Amino acid sequence: MTKWSERETVNDTTQGVQLATMQALANYWASDYDWRKVEAKLNSYPNFISNIDGLDIHFIHVKSKEKNAMPIIVTHGWPGSVVEQLKIIDPLTNPTKYGGSTADAFDVVIPSLPGYGFSGKSTAPGWNPVRIAKAWGALMTRLGYAKYVAQGGDWGNAISEIMALQTPPGLLAISTNMAATVPTEIQTALVTGKPKPASLSAEESNAWDQLDFFYKKGLGYANEMALRPQTLYAIADSPVGLAAWMLDHDARSYDLIARVFAGGREGLTRDDVLDNITLYWLTNTAISSARLYWDTAQVSTGGFFDPRGVKLPVSVTVFPDEIYAAPRTWAEKAYPKLIYYERFDKGGHFAAWEQPEYFVGAMRDGFKSLRSLG
């Protein structure tokens, strides 16, 4: 029933998600995709609902059989969901089956953000990262964890960093795959249109170029959701509209997904992509998830990548096709207690989903020094 627009008038992505990509996605979604596979995968893990601060919060909770497993709470972002983390659950909880040792084991907690997936949808404003961070701390206490670590990218990083600022009882450290490290002078220069400083290193220059592109051409979705999320009725009404909105998150993720639906093999499969989109569609969370941007805009005056002054130990993983690849020099300034920094040669915004082996290795190595404290 989709009413298709005409093809874009250019031969690249400068006008947005291309018609050929969307039609290939829709054709596969309608004819070959099987939601029941990921439904079975989700149901193979223990799922729970807990009411925290007046809202039902869904989470997956998988305990390792190893007695000294380190508890970790892993938070997704937008346009993600718990689907992003399904590939890392078994390697983290059962490390000896996946090239690790018993000392690498984790207990894994993966919550759905408020308004996302199977979590509740708030009927009043206020569910911003500060409130979510408090809820996550309450959740880990409720689960009985006296010591634990937190990980996240995208919104998951913001929430994990704010948890580190709140220092809830038991939080030892955090890990991020989308670090907030951009120095104030760099941020100011970027947003005011000043030229790139000649003093930047190669890593810093690459980060500048990535951020410059993102700020100029890649923020449309975030701006709309931060300003007028309720206006997005079309993405709640049309599955193709929803899919296009979610695909146009960042240039490198879109390029990867376009190659996948053109027949290429990448870190994600066509089913991976549609598992996540279908979860949004079936739970009708297109607009409720978008409100996180609006709720955050009401209380935040800083940039998403501004250093927050985290004092707890931090582990940083850097993937080259992220919105920006945080240089080590910036990470060392942003996180005084940087305990781990690793750059990988492939992977992008959805790190645990795209490159689960790299991600799992980084969790094992990044938190290794804290095992004796757990």
Contact present, 255 and 247 (Cβ < 8 Å): no
- Residue 154 is among the residues annotated as catalytic for this protein: yes
Residue 347 carries which side chain, given as an amino acid letter? G
Copy the structure tokens of residue 225. Answer: 């959701």
Q: Looking at this protein, which amino acid is placed at residue 164?
A: A
Q: Are the C-beta atoms of 57 and 278 separated by less than 8 Å?
A: no
Cβ neighbours, 10 Å, residue 255: 14
Q: Two tokens at 144?
A: 């009985």
Query: What does the alpha-carbon distance between residue 205 and residue 217 come to, in Å, rounded to a whole number?
Result: 18
Q: Please give the structure tokens belonging to residue 82.
A: 């718990």
Task: Indicate which residue of 293, 324, 335, 358 is catalytic.
Answer: 293
**Exposure pattern of 265-294 as b/e (b: 16+ CB <10 Å)?**
ebbbebbbbbbbbbbbbebebbbbbbbbbb
The residue type of 142 is R
Which entry of 154, 248, 250, 321 is annotated as an active-site residue?
A: 154
List active site positions. Answer: 154, 293, 349
